[in-house]
Amino acid sequence: MRRPGLTTRFLAVSGGVIAGIFLLAAALARQSNEPSTRPADMQRLVWIFATIISVVVIVASLIQAGMVLPRLRRILRGMEEVRGGGYPRLLAAGSDELAETVRGFNETVDTLRARDEKLRAWAGHRESELMKLSQELDHERERLDTVLSAIGDGVIVLDSENKVLMANRRVSEIFGIPVEQLQGCDLAVLIEQVRHRLLRPDLVEKKVLELRRAPSLVDEVTLELDDPGHQAIRLYSVPVHGADGHVIGRIATSLDLGREREIERMKTEFLSTISHELRTPLTSIKGSLGLVLGGAAGTFSADARELLDIARTNTDRLVRIINQILDMMLLERGQALIRPVPTPLGTCAERALRAVAAPAQEAGVEVRLQILASMPNVLGDSRRVEQVLVNLLSNAIKFSTQGHEVVLSARAEGDTAHVTVQDWGCGMSPEFLERLFTKFEHAEGSLTRESQGMGLGLAICRHVVQAHGGRIWAESKEGAGSTFHFTLPLSISPIAEPERRSAPAAADASGAPRLVLVIDNDEDVARILSYIFETQGHQVICAHSGKEALELARRHRPDLITLDLNLPDLDGFEVLRLLRATEESRHIPVICISVRPDVRLALALGADFCMEKPLDIDRLRELSGKALATVR
Amino acid sequence: MEREVKLTRVLVVEDDVDIQKVIRMSLKLRGVSEVVLVESGTECIERLSGFTPDVILLDVMMPHVDGYETCWRLKQDPATRAIPVVFLTARVQKADRERGMKLGALGYLTKPFDPMTLHDQILELLTEHAGKKNENDGGADG
C-alpha cells in the first residue's frame, strides 16, 4: 500500500490539532453560557484551555519533526560520506518525498562511482604511459650524456641568449667549471673565467661580440691558452634555426689543436723512421750487389750475372716504390716542401728527356721537345716540375710501340704555361680516363708489364701540379694515343733583389696595396716570402738582421711583419719585444715563422700568429690575410 | 795555382756495420788507400785528433749525437772546420737536405747509393769545392 506523502501527514496532524481546539473552544463556549459559571471559573477555564492547546501544538510539532528529521540526518551523513570519497547507499523505504530524495541520492552516488572508476582506470593508464615516457627520457638523457662525455672534443649548446643549455666534460675541462654548474651560464661569464689564461683575450671577446651582433654567423675562433702545455683550441660554432627560420641557439664544438699537432708530429716521425728503416737494409743489398756486379768479388758466369742483374733491377724498383709512397704521403698531407721560384721550363724539360733517354731507346720510341727559347719562366720548383715531366714521359714511352714518337711541348697562354705530353700509343678507355689521377690505379691489363709500379705516378703529378696552383688533365682515345696537359703559373716578375718592389695588383679587400716587412736571415727564404706577398699585390721590404728590421719597422711602419726567430745579431724574441715596446710598431701585426720548436712562445710576447717551418704557403696566405684584415 | 784534389783518406761515420763494409769496399775498389770506420758522432770527433781525412762521409741517424749535430760541432771547431763533410744518409726529404747543407756540408748524398759511383760523386763534390775556393782565392788575390 502506498504510504501517504509528508504534506498529507502534516495536514492530518494539523487537522487533528485544529479539531481538538475547536472541540475545546465549543466546550468553553457552553460552559460560559451556564448561569452558574462565575467569571473566576471562566478565567480558570480559559487558562486551562490555553495550556491544553499549547501542549497539543507542541506534541503535534514533535510528531511532525519525528517524522522528517532522522531521515534528513541520514541523507546529510550520506552527503558527508560522498564528500570524503565514499559511495554510501541509503535505505529508501516508502514513497514520500524524502524516500524519493534518498533514491535520487543513491542514483547520483552510483553515477559518481561509475565515473570515478572510469577516471581512475584512465588515470592509471596515463600514469603508466607517463612513467614509461619518463624512463625513456631518462634513458635518452643518460645516453646523450654518455656520448657527449665520450667525445674527446668539447660540445656546447647555447640558447638564443647565449646561455648554456648543455655542455660536455671537455668543455668543463677547458673552462675549469664543473659540468653541473655550466648549465645556464652565460657565454660571456665563461670567457671571463678563462680570460686570464688566454693569450689573446681581446680576439675572443671580439668574436663573441660579433656573434651577438650576427647570430646567424657560422664562425670559428682559436683559443690559445697561456698554460704550460700551450693548449690551442679551435671552436667552430653554427647557429641552430627553429621551425620558423629564426635562430634559436648555437652549437659549438672544440677541436684540440695541440692533439692534432702532436698526431701530425708523430706521423711525420713515423714516416721518417719507416723511410730510414727501409732504406738502411736496401743500402746494404744494393751496395753489395753493385760491388759484386762491379767485379769486387771476382768474375762469375753469365747466368749468375743475369740473376744478379735481376736482383739489382728489382732493388732499384723497390727503392722507387718506397720513394713514391713517401712522396705521396708527404704531398697528400701538404708537407712536401715545394718552393716555387722562377724556373726555365726548357731546362727542366731537357733534364727530364735525359732521364727517360734510356727507356725510350730501349722501347724504340723517339722523344721530341717543342719549347720555344722565348718561353717565359714558370713559377715552379724545378725538381718537382722535372718529376712531373719524367712521370708523364715515362708513361707515354711505356704505352707507345716501337717506331712511335712522344712529343713534349709547352706554350704561354696569358699568365699560364700550358704543357702537353702527347703519344700515339694504345690510348685509354673513357672509364679509366675518369680515375686516371687516382692513386693505385693501373691501366687495364698493364699489371703484367714489367715496369709497372704502384700506380702512384699520376697521383703524385696531380698533387705536385695542384701544389703549384696548376691543373692537370688528359685526353685519350683507345688505339689512337693520349695527350696529357698541365698548367703552371708563369713567373710574372723576375726576382733579383729583395728590395722594395712595386706591387702588380692590389689584392687586399680594402683595395690598397699593403706594405709587408719580411725579416729572415736566409735570403732564399726572404725571397720566397717576398714573392708570396707580391703575388698577392702587396709591397715588400726585407731585413736580414734584427737591428735592420727594427730600423725598417720604425721608418716605414709596415702593415704586416713576418719574423724569423733565428737572426744573426738579436734573438727573434728580443726583436719582437722591442717591436711591441716601440710606439711606431706596437700595433703592427707580426707573424713569427721559424724552425724553432719554441716558436709558439712568440704569442706570449705579442705575436699575432706563429708558424713552424717548413713553410706552408697556403697557411701563410691565410694568416697574413687575417692579420691584414685587422689593419685599416 | 789550382789545388790538387785527392781522395785517399776517408773517415766514414756510419752506425750500420753492413753499410760500413759496402762503403769501404766501394772506396777501396776505386783506390782510396785509407778508409777509417767509426760508428758514432762522438767517435768521429775523437778520431779526428791527429788524423785529417780528405773527406768525412757522415750518416745522420745515429744514436746519441746525430749527424747534424756532429757536423755542427765539426764546423764550430777551428781544427776541424776545413775538413769537407759529405752527408750519406737515408733521410731524403728536401728539408733534411737543406738542413744538412745549411750546416756547412759539401754535399748531401742519399741512401741507397750506387757503390760503383760513390767515389766519383764524392770526388766531383771535392773538385767543385776546390774550384770555388780557387775562384775566391783568385778574387782575393786580384
Cell 716578375 belongs to A493
Question: Which comes out higher in pLDDT, residue A499 or B7?
Answer: B7
Using the 8-state DSSP alphabet, how is residue A376 labeled?
A: P
From B19, B26, B98, residue closest to A280, measured CB to CB: B19
pLDDT above 90 covers a percentage of chain A that reads 18
Confidence band of B117 (pLDDT split at 50, 70, 90): very high
Which residues between 61 and 90 in chain B have a beta carbon less than 8 angstroms from any beta carbon of chain A? 61, 90
Ranges in chain A, pLDDT < 70: 1-4, 226-230, 334-335, 441-454, 492-512, 524, 596-598, 613-616, 631-632
Q: Do B29 and A291 touch (CB under 8 A)?
A: yes
Q: Do A614 and B112 touch (CB under 8 A)?
A: no
pLDDT value at residue A115: 93
> Which of A9, A31, A29 has its CA nearest to residue A21?
A29
Give the type of residue at A304: A
Cβ pairs bridging A and B (under 8 Å): 79
pLDDT value at residue A499: 36
Tell me whether residue B73 is in a domain.
yes
From B18, B29, B112, residue closest to A279, measured CB to CB: B112
Q: Show residues of chain A in contact with B92, CB under 8 Å.
A: 275, 279, 323, 326
SS3 assignment, position A543: strand
pLDDT value at residue A216: 75
Tell me whether residue B1 is in a domain.
no
pLDDT (tens digit per residue) in A347-367: 999 999 998 998 899 999 999
pLDDT (tens digit per residue) in B15-65: 999 999 999 999 998 899 999 999 999 999 999 998 999 999 999 988 888
From A275, A280, A294, residue closest to B29, measured CB to CB: A294
Which residue of chain B has the CA closest to A277?
B90
Tell me whether residue B14 is in a domain.
yes
pLDDT value at residue A28: 81
Domain of B24, in residue numbers? 9-141
Q: How many domains is chain B partitioned into structurally?
A: 1
* Residue B17 contacts A where some CB pair is shorter than 8 Å: no
Tell me whether residue B118 is in a domain.
yes
Name the range with the highest mean pLDDT among A580-594, B68-82, B128-142. B68-82
| Cα–Cα distance measured from residue A106 to residue A90, given in angstroms and rounded to the nearest whole number | 7
pLDDT value at residue A417: 93
Please give, rounded to a whole number of angstroms, the shortest distance from the CA of B97 to a CA of chain A: 11
Q: Show residues of chain A in contact with B115, CB under 8 Å.
A: 286-288, 290-291, 294, 296
Q: Do B112 and A272 touch (CB under 8 A)?
A: no
* Residue B39 contacts A where some CB pair is shorter than 8 Å: no
- For residue B80, count other CB atoms closer than 10 A to its CB: 17
Cα Rg for chain B, rounded, in angstroms?
Answer: 15
| Cα–Cα distance measured from residue A424 to residue A476, given in angstroms and rounded to the nearest whole number | 10
Could you give the C-alpha distances from A325 to A274, A278, A300, A471, A599, in angstroms and in order? 11, 12, 36, 22, 31
Q: Domain of B64: which CATH number?
A: 3.40.50.2300
Please give, rounded to a whole number of angstroms, the shortest distance from the CA of B50 to a CA of chain A: 31
Tell me whether residue B2 is in a domain.
no
Give the type of residue at B94: K
Q: Show residues of chain B in contact with A290, CB under 8 Å.
A: 26, 114-116
Query: What pTM was computed for the model?
Result: 0.46
From B95, B98, B114, residue closest to A290, measured CB to CB: B114
Please give, rounded to a whole number of angstroms, the shortest distance from the CA of A209 to a CA of chain B: 42
pLDDT value at residue A467: 85
At A631, list the grid cell: 689593419
pLDDT above 90 covers a percentage of chain B that reads 63
Q: Do A296 and B29 touch (CB under 8 A)?
A: yes
Could you give the C-alpha distances from A99 to A2, A94, A529, A619, in angstroms and in order? 12, 6, 111, 99
Evaluated on CA atoms A598, A600, A603, A607, the torsion sign reads positive
Q: Where are the beta strands (DSSP E) in A135-197?
A: 155-159, 164-167
Which ipTM did the prediction report?
0.71
Could you give the C-alpha distances from A383 to A136, A363, B106, B108, in angstroms and in order? 64, 25, 20, 15
Tell me whether residue B130 is in a domain.
yes
* Residue A165 contacts B where some CB pair is shorter than 8 Å: no
Q: Is residue B115 pLDDT above 70, yes or no? A: yes
Q: Are A231 and A255 in contact (CB under 8 A)?
A: no
pLDDT value at residue A494: 40
Please give, rounded to a whole number of angstroms, the shortest distance from the CA of A383 to a CA of chain B: 10
| Cα–Cα distance measured from residue A203 to residue A199, given in angstroms and rounded to the nearest whole number | 9
What are the backbone angles phi and psi of residue A386, rounded to the nearest 5°?
-60, -40
pLDDT value at residue A397: 93
* Residue A290 contacts B where some CB pair is shorter than 8 Å: yes
